[in-house]
Amino acid sequence: MKDETKKMDDVKIGEILLPGEESEQEAKARKVERRFWPTLKRAMRQVPFSRDLVAAYYCAMDPATPMRTRGILLGALAYFVLPFDFIPDVLAMVGFSDDIAVLTAAFAAISGQIKEQHYVRADEALQDKLPD
């Protein structure tokens, strides 16, 4: 598992987090919008930073977010919603580990760009869309 994660770190994360052109971002945004909530519901127990993840979703969908930040977040979120990636999400307990690595790298790359308003929306959404 460690070797697979190391390969993931060395090869894929940089490619996944490329901001891309505006047309690429729009395609990723549509994919993320369709698949984000169902994927999050499946991943809630395995993703230790769900609030940050939902805030990142709202930041990526915010037209006021700078294009580079939006592109990085959309790349990470698109990877998160893909059912088959480096380590398939259907594998119990390890399926989202590569997604967590990509999301952690994205959060580090856009440090400070997720605003309080995105966290407020995240808190509301987590209460409304994902009841206990």
- In this structure, what token pair is assigned to residue 83? 């059912």
Query: What are the residue ranges spanned by the domains of the chain?
Result: 2-129
pLDDT of residue 130: 63
Q: Are 58 and 37 in contact (CB under 8 A)?
A: no
Share of the chain above pLDDT 70, in %: 78
pLDDT of residue 125: 94
Contacts for 23 with CB less than 8 Å, ≥ 6 apart: none
pLDDT band for 22, please (50, 70, 90 cuts): confident
Q: pTM above 0.85?
A: no
CA-nearest of 84, 72, 65 to 15 is 72
Residue-wise pLDDT for 45-82, tens only, equals 777 889 999 999 999 999 999 999 999 999 999 988 88
